[in-house]
């Protein structure tokens, strides 16, 4: 069989998704599978067993990242890696992360059943503790892999019961001899549900992910003067909530003015003293600004700061802006992105370029390897929720794009 005719067994992939969903399955159809919990150990065992049956050798590194390796035909080439994560949020869904790992398994199955041989070895990786739900921060093991965090830092992170990541890895037997990050690779591909509403709304099957948007977080504190709502004329007020309301509207305006990709969200508002007939004297709120371009994000921040300052002056209050987080934009490797785009085109799927709004293992891996991602639609954009849902046909399509993107990369890359 010519490699260009290879395709994913969608039925088997869906069966794998539903079968593994039993490890930590919840009554509401979701999954609770915290990293290195008993349920996670069960799915890891399933991964090892299944990939071994598909002719792979399965190992893990010092952070417990699992690698299922199918050898290639040419010696001296590093593997093309495919991956995501099998851990979930405490009330997570059946598709976030899992689609990427089992999509990789489906790819291994396609190669295995056709007895096809790639030039590069192919490896499917299951990154430990991507969600950050048990050990913070999220994406901790792909972060160590990419040199973002030290292994010492990561292993010292403790869950709410005080169990360190090191202890949890030891308990599961997942402290590998290979130092995390020492694993060579030629490129990295990750299939994931969008976790947003764009593809579904536009009727697109495939999102060609160009990168991950930059993100900046701020805490804003507005200080006015609390006073009696019945005795203080409008002109004599320093109403922190009125000022904050205009600022929240301004955050929205900043996003629209840097559209269509600018995002601005105020998710937390605290209004004090919090009494119906007292003019609020202090309001704090969070601001989340995002843009695929760090340059535009910088302009958004400047715009935001100017507007806040102006509104504070107009409303007779003071405002302090404290940056709390800053994550630079990630631009995926153009050659890898081309492999994805051409594969989707070649397979005839409806598609669009997209930028990831959420963080993924690929965002860290992209720091050290040519990387790209593939998105497929999810119902209503809902994720991190037991109601998370996706269509079998879309999952299959995504895995087919993954397969052919990897095959394209296999012919184009020659990385030792």
Name the residues that contact a copy of itself, by CB under 8 A: 194-198, 201, 213, 215, 217, 227-236, 239, 241-242, 244-249, 252, 255-256, 259-260, 262-269, 271, 274-280, 283, 286, 288, 290, 356-358, 381-384
- Of 5 and 277, the one with the shorter C-beta distance to a copy of itself is 277
| Residue that the structure tokens 């010092």 belong to | 62
Kind of pairing, strands 371-376 and 187-193? parallel
Measured between alpha carbons, how far is 99 from 111 in angstroms, rounded to an integer? 18
To the nearest whole angstrom, how small is the minimum distance from the Cβ of residue 357 to a copy of itself? 3
Alpha-carbon radius of gyration of the chain: 24
Shortest distance, position 393 Cβ to a copy of itself, whole Å: 21
Which CB, 1 or 328, lies closer to a copy of itself?
Answer: 328
Residue 134 and residue 286: Cα distance in Å, rounded? 24
The residue behind tokens 């509403």 is 197
- Mapped onto helix, strand or coil, the DSSP state of residue 85 is coil
Q: Closer CB to a copy of itself, residue 245 or residue 312?
A: 245
With respect to a copy of itself, which residue has the nearer C-beta, 69 or 290?
A: 290
Q: CA-to-CA distance for 66 and 85, rounded, in angstroms? A: 10
Dist CA 277 CA 10 (whole Å) = 61
Q: Decide whether 86 or 241 has the Cβ nearer to a copy of itself.
A: 241
What are the backbone angles phi and psi of residue 12, rounded to the nearest 5°? -65, -40
- Least gap, CB of 224 to a copy of itself (angstroms): 12
Beta-carbon contacts of 114 under 8 Å, excluding residues fewer than 6 positions away, are 1, 6
CB of 352 to a copy of itself, least distance (A): 12
User: Do the Cβ atoms of 399 and 405 come closer than 8 Å?
Assistant: no
Which CB atom, from 172 or from 359, has the smaller least distance to a copy of itself? 359
**What is the distance of C-alpha 398 from the center of its chain?**
16
- 218 bridge partner residues: 287, 323
The answer to whether the CB of 187 falls within 8 A of the CB of 415 is yes
Cβ closer to a copy of itself: 186 or 247?
247
Cβ-based nearer residue to a copy of itself, 59 or 357: 357
The secondary structure element, H or E, covering residue 363 is: helix 361-365
Q: Measured from the CB of residue 150, what is the shortest distance to a copy of itself in angstroms? A: 26
* Cβ proximity to a copy of itself, 57 vs 309, nearer residue: 309
In the complex, the smallest distance separating the C-beta of residue 116 from a copy of itself, rounded to whole angstroms, is 35
Taking the complex as a whole, the smallest distance from the CB of residue 192 to a copy of itself amounts, in Å, to 11
Contact 35, 133 (CB under 8 A): yes
Angle (CA) 215-97-354 rounded to 5° is 45
Q: Cβ 394 to a copy of itself, closest distance in Å?
A: 16
- Reading the block at residue 237, the tokens are 């007020």
Taking the complex as a whole, the smallest distance from the CB of residue 34 to a copy of itself amounts, in Å, to 19
């Amino acid at each position: 069989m010519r490699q260009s005719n290879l395709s994913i067994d969608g039925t088997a992939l869906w069966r794998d998704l539903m079968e593994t969903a039993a490890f930590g399955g919840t009554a509401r159809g979701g999954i609770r599978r915290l990293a290195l919990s008993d349920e996670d150990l069960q799915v890891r065992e399933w991964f090892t067993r299944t990939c071994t049956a598909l002719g792979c050798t399965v190992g893990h590194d010092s952070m417990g990242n699992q690698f299922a390796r199918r050898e290639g035909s040419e010696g001296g080439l590093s593997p093309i890696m495919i991956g995501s994560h099998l851990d979930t949020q405490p009330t997570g869904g059946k598709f976030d992360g899992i689609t990427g790992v089992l999509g990789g398994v489906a790819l291994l199955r396609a190669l295995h059943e056709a007895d096809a041989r790639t030039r590069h070895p192919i490896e499917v990786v299951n990154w430990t503790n991507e969600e950050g739900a048990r050990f913070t921060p999220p994406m901790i093991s792909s972060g160590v892999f990419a040199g973002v965090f030290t292994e010492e830092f990561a292993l010292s992170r403790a869950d709410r019961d005080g169990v360190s990541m090191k202890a949890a890895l030891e308990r599961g037997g997942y402290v590998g001899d290979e130092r995390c990050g020492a694993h060579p690779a030629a490129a990295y591909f990750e299939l994931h549900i969008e976790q947003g509403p764009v593809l579904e709304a536009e009727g697109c099957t495939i999102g060609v992910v160009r990168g991950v948007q930059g993100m900046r977080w701020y805490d804003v504190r507005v200080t006015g003067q609390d006073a009696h709502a019945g005795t203080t004329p409008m002109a004599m007020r320093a109403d922190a909530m009125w000022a904050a309301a205009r600022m929240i509207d301004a955050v929205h305006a900043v996003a629209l003015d840097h559209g269509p990709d600018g995002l601005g969200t105020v998710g937390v508002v605290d209004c004090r003293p919090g009494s119906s007939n007292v003019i609020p004297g202090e309001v704090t709120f969070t601001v989340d600004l995002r843009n695929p371009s760090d340059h535009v994000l910088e302009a958004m921040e400047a715009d935001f700061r100017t507007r806040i300052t102006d509104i504070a002056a107009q409303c007779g209050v003071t405002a302090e802006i404290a940056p709390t987080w800053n994550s630079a934009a990630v631009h995926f490797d153009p050659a890898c992105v081309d492999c994805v785009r051409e594969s989707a085109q070649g397979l005839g799927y409806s598609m669009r370029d997209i930028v990831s709004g959420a963080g993924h293992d690929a965002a860290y891996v992209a720091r050290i390897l040519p990387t790209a991602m593939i998105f497929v639609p999810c119902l209503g954009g809902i994720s991190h929720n037991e109601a998370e849902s996706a269509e079998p046909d879309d999952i299959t399509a995504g895995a087919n794009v993954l397969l052919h993107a990897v095959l394209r990369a296999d012919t184009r890359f020659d990385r030792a």
